[in-house]
Amino acid sequence: MSKVKKIIKRILLLLLLMLVISIGYFGFKIRQNVQQVVTYESEVERAVKENNIPEYKNLVLAIIYTESKGKSDDLMQSSESAYGERQLIGSTKESIDTGVAFLAQSIEKANEAGCDIWTAVQAYNFGLDYIGFVKERGGKNSVALAEEYSREILSPLLGNTEEKTYRYYRPQALVYNGGFLYSNGGNMFYADIVKMNQQFIKWLK
């Protein structure tokens, strides 16, 4: 019996060691990504001031973290909002200028509608029509509302009329629904992911 206990103890210690190493590795990668993103802090600061949302500088950095981790020319994945297609933006400045302008527009519309800031952030992913959807349902973004919009409105609008899904392994998704998104339905966890990344920016920059 004592031999079995020793084996179990060794297995548990090994699992604990692997967990500590994994946490350390992911912490290191997150810090690396934050440091990459904040290299654009001065450009973001300029853009948020020009668009009259200086208080949202860290939010913009969190969106950059979410969209590209600062590792592509289209830092904020702004091409679709500017041109209706992906990969048409070829400079970090254009991406920041376009993305911040769109976010400012989303924040303004959310404020006018009496919606919270996270509705505006989710609308950065879904499009501005999402703001009216949330306004009619209490004015506060939630994953449940975002899922309804993704499934019932956005996904069918973009051709997914059969509620097809695909695997999505982010922690927020795994906890909420086992890890899936609706095809052509945007990312219903977008606001929560940006919120988490904003904390990383706050702690590690």
Summarised one tens digit per residue, pLDDT across range 113-131 is 999 999 999 999 999 999 9
Q: Convert the pLDDT of each residue in 82-107 to its tens digit.
A: 777 777 888 999 999 999 999 999 99
CATH topology of domain 2-204: Lysozyme (1.10.530)
Summarize the confidence of residues 145-165 as an average pLDDT.
97
Tokens describing residue 33: 């990504």
Handedness of CA 158, 164, 170, 174 (dihedral sign): positive
Asked if pLDDT for residue 27 goes beyond 90, the answer is no
Q: Which residue has the tokens 């208080």?
A: 55
Tokens describing residue 194: 């940006």
Give the integer Cα–Cα distance in Å for 167 and 9: 35
Asked if residues 124 and 53 have their Cβ atoms less than 8 Å apart, the reply is no
pLDDT-derived band at 1, boundaries 50, 70, 90: low
Listed range (51-60, 73-82, 173-182, 184-193) with the worst mean pLDDT = 73-82
Q: What mean pLDDT value characterizes the chain?
A: 93
Asked if residues 118 and 195 have their Cβ atoms less than 8 Å apart, the reply is yes
pTM of the model: 0.90
53 alpha carbon, distance to own chain's centre: 19
Summarize the confidence of residues 9-38 as an average pLDDT.
85
Tokens describing residue 61: 């950095």
Give the integer Cα–Cα distance in Å for 26 and 200: 12
Query: What pLDDT, on the 0 to 100 scale, is given for residue 22?
Result: 74
Give the integer Cα–Cα distance in Å for 93 and 96: 5
Query: What pLDDT, on the 0 to 100 scale, is given for residue 105?
Result: 98
pLDDT-derived band at 172, boundaries 50, 70, 90: very high
Is the model more confident about 78 or about 15?
78
